Structure 1
Amino acid sequence: MHTRPSDHNDIKAMKNHLCSIEKNFTWECPHPKQPPTMLSLPAALLLAATLTTAQTLSSTLTHIPSFGPNPRNVSMHIYVPANLPPNPPILVSPHWCHGTAQQVFEYRPWAALGDTYGFISIYPNTSNFADQCWDVSSKESLTHDGGGDALGIVSMVRWALEKYAADPDRVFVTGTSSGAMMTNVLLGSYPDVFAAGSAWAGVPFGCFAGPGFDVWSESCATGKIIKTGAEWASIVHAAYPGYTGFRPKIQTLHGTKDDVLFPQNLVEQVKQWTAVLGVSEVPSSVAVDTPLKGWTRRRYGDKVEAYEAEGVDHNIPNLEDVVMEFFDLKCRGKGCFSRRS
């Protein structure tokens, strides 16, 4: 949880609240030896498959000590499949609050999927040891090449692009909670780097903006920051003044019972990104019970995709196939989704 610059008792209470929501809400405050507990059988089966395949990976997670401009001392960990194809895509996966790069590597199947489909996965680790949340508040992170955690992560991408001759038009980012917030930040501050993002239980770009590198915004978290699409878009455009190039598409998912980052933040993200990407706030298609019973998918053209998960709290189960499909990461060769599409 991000530190609020006010009442220390409030900070402690919020942290206790964050770590006690549901007895199985362990991925936010995990035991070092305990894998994250999911809420549904499909998610549990996915986790079991992940832990099984993790034993047969073709390579190992590697720490890269130096990779370029890194003002906040974010650490880089990378998984490169042994049989890497030419011009591979890159997937960045920032961790949740109280999480680590190692935990994302172990409890998300990106490395195994990278082995199968031929992409590199990058696992950043924040230097904020107080709560291990990402800097999504500072002017530095909210500005293109301005600094903050965001620049450190982008430096990892730039390093990997050069080192492995990876595809600069197929760089993707996905995360949960604080990782979802960073996903929004990276799409807003670095539209020239990313092709798409998938944010699970996050907030709009700039919603947590404040005077510091780790600021908690109770107003944003509780869904009280409400703006028009145009107002939200202006915040994104201010991150990279004068930029007129490609803008990454976004997938955002949220539970209706989320009382850490309230579900109004899903609405605000849709308003923000439909405005930024120039599509209508009225969905072009609606699919109920997709991909799970009680989930509703709304698409806004082919640039914005939003999932509302009925009855789900902040412990939203990650459904990797949904992300893989949106990023088109199972595709190889010509005709795959990219910044050139």
Structure 2
Amino acid sequence: MRLAHGLAALWATSIHAATLQKIEADFPNPTNVGFYLYVPDTLSPNPPVLVSPHWCHGDALAVYKGSSFASLADRYGFIVIYPDSPNAADKCWDVSSRGTLSHQSGGGDSQGIVNMVAWTVKRYKADAGRVFVTGVSSGAMMTNVLLGAYPDVFAAGTAFAGVPFGCYAAPDGSADYWNSDCATGLVTHTGAEWRSIVQAAYPGYNGWRPKVQVFHGTADEVLNYTNFGEEVKQWTSVLGLCGSKPAKTEENNPFPNWTKYVYGKDGWLEAYSALDVTHNIGNHEDVAMKWFDLTCTTGNCFRWGQGGPKGDSLLNQTPAF
């Protein structure tokens, strides 16, 4: 995986091109996740917000420099949040503790990240209905955590080489736990069991769920390819799609020897299997941008509560912020 050096720590201190800023804000942040923000010079009206958590041994600056989301934000006027893991040992995200796997539990990295979203929405009058998340490896794991624990915040997510929500859960509920069984593909469940794990993160929630996109290489040497199938089982069940068989299969999409599987008549889950690709699957910003509809700046842009398996039954619901 890619490495990066430490980041500056002053309020609104420029650390790259005078635009990436570290924010010190007063909101619940139980694990002290670092808050880095990219706000382009020209924002679209009520701009969307993209959250981009980094990989293990990375940091906010590494993913900022290692992806093109900042330049895309310049072009389309959205805001990017680059959270920074507080885990100094390996800079992996907490995807194992009871706190991070629970909705507003009072603990865990996920709560700090969600409160960054709330702060950004308020500060910049951003569109609370157009909040998205994408990441690679540990960032993909956190993407699934945020989609599972905070379905009332995120409209969609894209996870590159991740694992299902709750797969890394520590037996003792602790943070910074490396779950070797999950990493090697030994944690498997039925779709119904995976659904119960997600539902336990937010007991009683029966509202709209974000759409999900997952990617995995068949030769992944860090997080076994088995996790791809488990993600599909989890999200098809959580989203109430018809079984785990795809409604549509497209070969060589978006690249040669990659296969795209579309689930449900609304296509609320897309799963991409990359033949012979290792864990270094990379960011594919163009695919994620299309999934999030982030190139849309006016009119009927995709947003929270729009479409999905439950159709119009939840039209009166609104996102959290």
- TM-score normalized with structure 2 length: 0.88
Question: Which residue of 1 is the match for residue 275 of structure 2?
Answer: 310
Q: Choose from 62, 73, 85 the match for 2:44.
A: 85
Tell me what 1:160 maps to: 120
1:230 aligns with 2:192: yes
CA distance in 1, matches of 2:185, 2:118: 34
SS at match of 2:198: helix
Q: Which amino acid aligns with 2:97?
A: S
- Contact in 1 for aligned 2:292/2:302 (Cα 8 Å): yes
1:197 matched to 2:157? The reply is: yes
Q: Name the structure 2 match of 1:45.
A: none
Partner of 1:240: 202
What 5-or-longer segments of structure 1 have no aligned partner?
1-27, 34-54
Say whether the 8 Å CA contact 2:155–2:305 is kept in structure 1.
Answer: no
Q: CA deviation at 1:32?
A: 4.7
Quote the Cα distance in structure 1 between the aligned partners of 2:164 and 2:145: 8
Within-5 A mapping of 1:1-341: 28-30=1-3, 32=5, 60-146=19-105, 147-210=107-170, 211=172, 212-280=174-242, 281-301=244-264, 302-341=267-306
Deviations along 1:46-90, whole A, 9 cap, x unmatched? xxxxxxxxx9x7x60011012410000101000011111211100
Amino acid at match of 1:307: Y
Q: Per-residue CA shift, 1:125-169, capped at 9, x if unaligned?
A: 011000000000000000000120000100100000100111111
1:249–1:304 Cα contact (<8 Å) kept: yes
Q: Name whichever of 240-249 and 130-139 sits farther off.
A: 240-249
The verdict on how the C-alpha distance between 1:105 and 1:67 changes in structure 2, with shifts beyond 3 A counting, is farther
1:173 and 1:67 map into 2 onto residues whose CA distance is 22
CA contact (8 A) 1:250 1:304 kept: yes
Corresponding residue SS for 2:115: helix
- CA offsets, 1:171-201, max 9 Å, x none? 0000000000000000011011000110000
Q: Which residue identity does 1:304 align to in structure 2?
A: L
Q: In structure 1, what is the Cα distance between the partners aligned to 2:123 and 2:29? A: 17
Higher helix share: 1
Percentage of pairs with the same residue: 55
Query: Contact 2:4/2:59 (CA < 8 Å) preserved in 1?
Result: no
Q: CA deviation at 1:31?
A: 6.0
Q: Is the 8 A contact 2:140 2:158 kept in 1?
A: yes
Q: Secondary structure at the match of 2:158?
A: strand
Shift of 1:334: 1.9
Counterpart of 2:53, as a letter, is P
| Partner AA of 1:272 in structure 2 | Q
> 2:44–2:297: 8 Å Cα contact kept in structure 1?
no
Q: Partners in 1 of 2:125 and 2:142 — Cα distance?
A: 25
Q: What is the deviation of 1:29?
A: 4.2
How far apart in 2 are the matches of 1:322 and 1:283? 19
Deviation of residue 317 (structure 1)?
2.6
Distance in 2 of aligned mates of 1:252 and 1:338: 19
Question: Contact 1:67–1:155 at 8 Å: present in 2 too?
Answer: no
Shift in Å at residue 318 of structure 1? 1.9
How much does 1:230 deviate?
A: 0.6
Q: Work out whether residues 136 and 282 of structure 2, in 8 Å CA contact, stay in contact via their aligned partners in 1.
A: no
- Deviation string 1:268-295 (CA, Å, 9 cap, x unpaired) is 0010001000112110110111111010
Matched AA of 1:185: V
Distance 2:25 2:5 in 1: 27
Q: Which whole-Å CA distance do the structure 2 matches of 1:162 and 1:108 have between them?
A: 26
SS of 2:81's equivalent in the other structure is strand
CA distance in 1, matches of 2:282, 2:182: 22
Gapped regions of structure 2 (runs ≥ 5): 7-15, 307-321
Residues 78-119 of structure 1: CA distance to partner in whole angstroms, max 9, x if unpaired?
A: 001111121110000000000010011111111110111110
- Aligned to 2:200, the other structure's residue is in SS state helix
